[in-house]
Chains A and B, each alone.
Chain A
């Protein structure tokens, strides 16, 4: 247990240093959510005039959606780093060391979690400046962070696992594009649940991104449905466990293929 903990910290440290040395990547990941918030806000402003829209401003509605979507993509694209490590022989060198296999993925998940916390803080501050009001105080925000981290962490583990299975950059990009973007639109990230088509609403119930969006949005708006928030967080936690199990198994599959 102690070894697992230390290996996880060592890998997190390594991933953070690596991120730190790629400043362009940091800038992009910070600017992107800001752009979403600043562009989508005005673009969909008149949505508030649709009968049945329950939020006082679109920013109020959109902020949790953009925040979760950012975490979703941050985690989801992390497999690219693993492809790079594979090509450079870094993975092979790690695999012939006593590194605990799960620590490899925990290291990535923790690094993504820290990135998500920074990104989310920026989005929340900006949304606040743009006039959003967050209910439930610290507890509400805590749930927002938690759902973002659980979702981003799951996607991170899944993405790194897929990277080890497909081993090729183009295949990973294609796979992620096919999965990530549709899931974003099959959710209530940009549109209130009661205003989206019935079939999307049905699908969105099985969409992890939607679990996180709904939990986060409900937690910081009046009339929080706590039992539903709990249910969504539970589902996200289960997803993280499943994704970690898949990722750890992908290492063995990779070793069998070489």
Chain B
């Protein structure tokens, strides 16, 4: 039997999705998305861009003010039961029941999905093994480390072998080491198990590393879509990264590079500088010469294609990390006024 999903090739489709919260806050302002099946799709955007709202609506938790989302071909607002069968969700706040142990958490989800007996036990054992939780299966999840809770969280979303996995900021608050582990796990899930993953993130590198396709969200709108490579390739020019032998004042660096042609933008932090240039290979010798002749010894130099940082900037005119901080501040304020 072919599901509607197989007929058009998209696992998730959003059409003119609008969400207006009480108090008139327009969280989503007409979102259109097409998420192909079988790969990782990244929703990238600063805090407050509307990523979580998209996930809440697509996973049947919240309702759109207008527009619709189809998940595996079913309307999330009208056919929530069919959608729920097909999806696994890892929310931003861990959904782990801290009063239950690892095994009980997995069993609970399985039981609610109609799994029983040996089938359920086998699946639970498999997941405990796969996510390295075998030894701690009988420990109450309250005593798990942050990384273990996140792993259990993901495992819990997979008990019923969903077709689509939603990961809402899966690595926020995790140590870099644990984050890398999580990335490997996400890659494994799509490559080996053919899962469609919708991942939201406000980490540029995470989107770059994991997502086959991206939608960049800003203030409730999709500002750009495409693979990270395509988005970056659309920006002309390169980025030159220079590591200086020692720290130098910003003014000295800027005046040294003042005469170099083709530098569009210059960022500097301690002994590293980053210049967006029209043509990397041509700019490097000029940059090196200018720095050295001004007594700034260079340790290393590299040229790279533009990053997603640059992509975001070119579409919104704002710096990503600043927008992210501002969004976080605004979210805190709204929470405070709600109280």
Contact = CB atoms under 8 A, between A and B. Distances in A.
Name the prevailing secondary structure of the A interface residues.
helix
A14 B89 CA distance: 20
> Majority SS of interface residues in chain B?
loop
Contacts of B156: 93
A123 B112 CA distance: 36
Contact of B100 (A6, A14, A95, A99): A14
B255 interface: no
Nearest to B166: A96
A17 interface: yes
A98 B152 CA distance: 20
B95 A92 contact: yes
A83 B240 CA distance: 52
A90 B97 CA distance: 6
A228 interface: no
B313 to A, nearest CB: 32
Interface string B82-113: 00110101011111111110001000110111
A85 B100 CA distance: 12
B63 interface: yes
Given A10-B108, A97-B109, A89 B91 contact: yes
Interface size class of B (residues with CB under 8 A): 20 to 34
Contacts of A46: none
A168 interface: yes
A88 B94 contact: yes
Contact of B62 (A90, A94, A258): A258
Q: Which of A22, A87, A90 has the most CB of B within 10 A?
A: A90
B182 interface: no
A96 B84 CA distance: 6
A257 B22 contact: yes
27 contacts: A3-B114, A6-B111, A6-B114, A7-B112, A10-B108, A10-B112, A14-B104, A17-B99, A21-B140, A22-B99, A88-B95, A88-B96, A88-B98, A89-B92, A89-B93, A92-B89, A92-B95, A93-B95, A94-B112, A95-B60, A95-B61, A96-B60, A96-B89, A97-B84, A98-B81, A98-B112, A99-B112
Given A14-B104, A88-B94, A98-B113, 5 more contacts: A89-B93, A89-B96, A96-B84, A99-B112, A255-B63
